[in-house]
Every structure is written in structure tokens, then in C-alpha cells.
Amino acid sequence: MDKVEVSDELVVPMDEVAPGVKGLRIAFVNVFGVAHTDGSWTLIDAAIPHTAWRIRSWVETTYGGRAPNAIVLTHGHFDHAGDARELADGWDVPIYAHTLEFPYLTGQKAYDPPNWKAGGGVMPLMGPTFPRDPIDVGDRLRALPGDGTQLTLVELPGWTLMHTPGHTPGHVSFFRESDRTLLVGDAFCTTKPESFFEAALVQHPELHGPPSYFTPDWAAAKSSVEKLAGLRPGTVAPGHGKPLSGAEVAPGLAKLAADFDRIAVPDDVKRGDPDVHAHM
């Protein structure tokens, strides 16, 4: 695996990702708050299980304890939907996700087992401790409206929801055209997967594909990155790694899309090894 190098100068602070967009890093994953002109705000993703208290105390200091109008999930992986139910119950708000993620959010289906061979970093060692059991967010789950490819949501005015499958079937990203801000979940990362567990300060920003151990459909992942690169974003905020902003972001992402097979797709997937998704 390779990467697209980007300058440290593109890193923007989590508390000022873009106007009205603030982030919170919990362990190795980011959640984002998106404020609206009417004073309401939306929580994008809900981090790993048992960290709701961290999000609540951030909401206390950042939004004066005001509940968001909704929780919107980029996808249903445990590190993005982990505490969605607990938070939504406490705030009495809906949880939105793409309908293709519903089986994984209603306790019906587990995601494919991780591909332990991908990348060969430290993740395979930690992998077995990663919960894969289907999350059940209960009856607060609502379908993102629209035709399934390009969607809008009343709770997120000014933002377009892009269906960006590959990492998971119903993965979505969020784009605000007015200032070209793009929230990408796990469609791609700005840190290498092996450094997920490093302290935020030592993470050097780089553009990588989606987290390789948990991405089953690389062809779809590639078209999703191409679609996102086509938006020519000025700011990108990923689920893993630091948010980046500046004129170099769009060309960097274009490079990632153009050279996706070499940069992002794990070697064993390219070789077509049969037991890429070895069962646990």
C-alpha cells in the first residue's frame, strides 16, 4: 500500500473544521457536529461503544448541552455507530442511515469478517478484539430519503448526501456545496490504517483509501472515491485521521482516485487470493 503525501499545513483544528463544523476525536475515530443557521445542529456518527459520555461532555461545552436534531450515520461499523442508540435515547432524536446499512443496524446481519492480510500492519493483531456483532439501534432508525444515490435531509439543510458504497454497502458522505466541505466517513482516510492508534499529534497527514481490513468491495470503493474527487472539495473531514483544508486537497484527492488500485487496494485483493476474507 502507498499513499498521497500532503503537507502538514493543510491540517485544520477539529474545533474549526469549516464554518459551523466541529469535530471530536475519540480514541481512533472522529465524530462531527454540523451547526445550522436556525441554531440547531446535527451529529454525524456516534463513535465506539461506551464512549457516549465523551460525546455528551463535548456537547455540553460545544453546544451548551443542546441535543442535536438527529444523529446521521456514515455507515454502521461499530466505531461509527457504537453509541448511537444510547445517545439517541437520551436526546430523544432519530438515527438516520442509508437503507442498505439497515441489516447491520437492526441486529439482523454482521459485516463480512475483516481481511487480516490487508496491509500487514498492527491491525490484524488487534482485529480479533474488534466487535463485529450487528449493532441494534432499535426503533429510532430512519431511512435517509431520496433516490438512493443523491439525497437530502431536512435536518441537514445545505448539505447533499452522497451514496459512497464500497467500504460498506450503504456508506454515505456529506457535501456542502457553498464552501465545498466534505465529510467522508470511511470512504477514505487521512492517516494510514496502522497509525489509527497513534496519538493524534504524531499522525502525519496522508491520503489513503478506506480502512483496508474492513472494506469488501474495492471496485465500488474506487468509484466512490472518484465521485468524491469529482466534487473538488476544499475541506475534507474523515472518520480516521485529521481534517484537511486548502487548495492542495482537491488535487491530492484526484491523485488518490486516479491511482486508487496501486495506493489503496491491498496486494492480496489485487492478486485475487481466495481466502481474502478468512473466517474467524
Q: Provide the phi-psi class of 91: left if phi over 0, else alpha when psi is between -120 and 50, else beta.
A: alpha
Closest CB 214 distance from Zn ion, rounded Å: 5
Q: CA 164 from chain center: how many Å?
A: 10
CB 210 to Zn ion: min, Å? 7
Query: Which residues have CB under 8 Å from 109's CB, separation 6+?
Result: 103, 134
- Nearest distance in Å: CB 75, Zn ion: 6
Toward Zn ion, which CB reaches closer, 28 or 175? 28
| Whole-Å CA distances, 59 to 213, 254, 265 | 31, 35, 37
Contact 197, 122 (CB under 8 A): yes
Q: Least distance to Zn ion from the beta carbon of 177, Å?
A: 25
Rounded least distance, CB 78 to Zn ion, Å:
9
Give the nearer residue to Zn ion in terms of CB position, either 3 or 77.
77
Cα 177–208–49 angle (5° rounding)? 85
Q: Rounded to the nearest 5°, which phi and psi values hold at 171? A: -65, 135
Closest to Zn ion by CB, 67 or 83: 83
Nearer to Zn ion, 186 or 206 (CB): 186
Determine whether 130 is exposed, middle or buried from the number of CB atoms within 10 Å of its CB (0-12, 13-18, 19+).
middle
Cβ-based nearer residue to Zn ion, 29 or 250: 29
> Can you give the binding site for Zn ion, defined by CB under 5 A?
77, 79, 186, 239
Q: How far is the CB of 217 from Zn ion (least distance, A)?
A: 13
- Residue with Cβ nearer Zn ion (79 or 101): 79
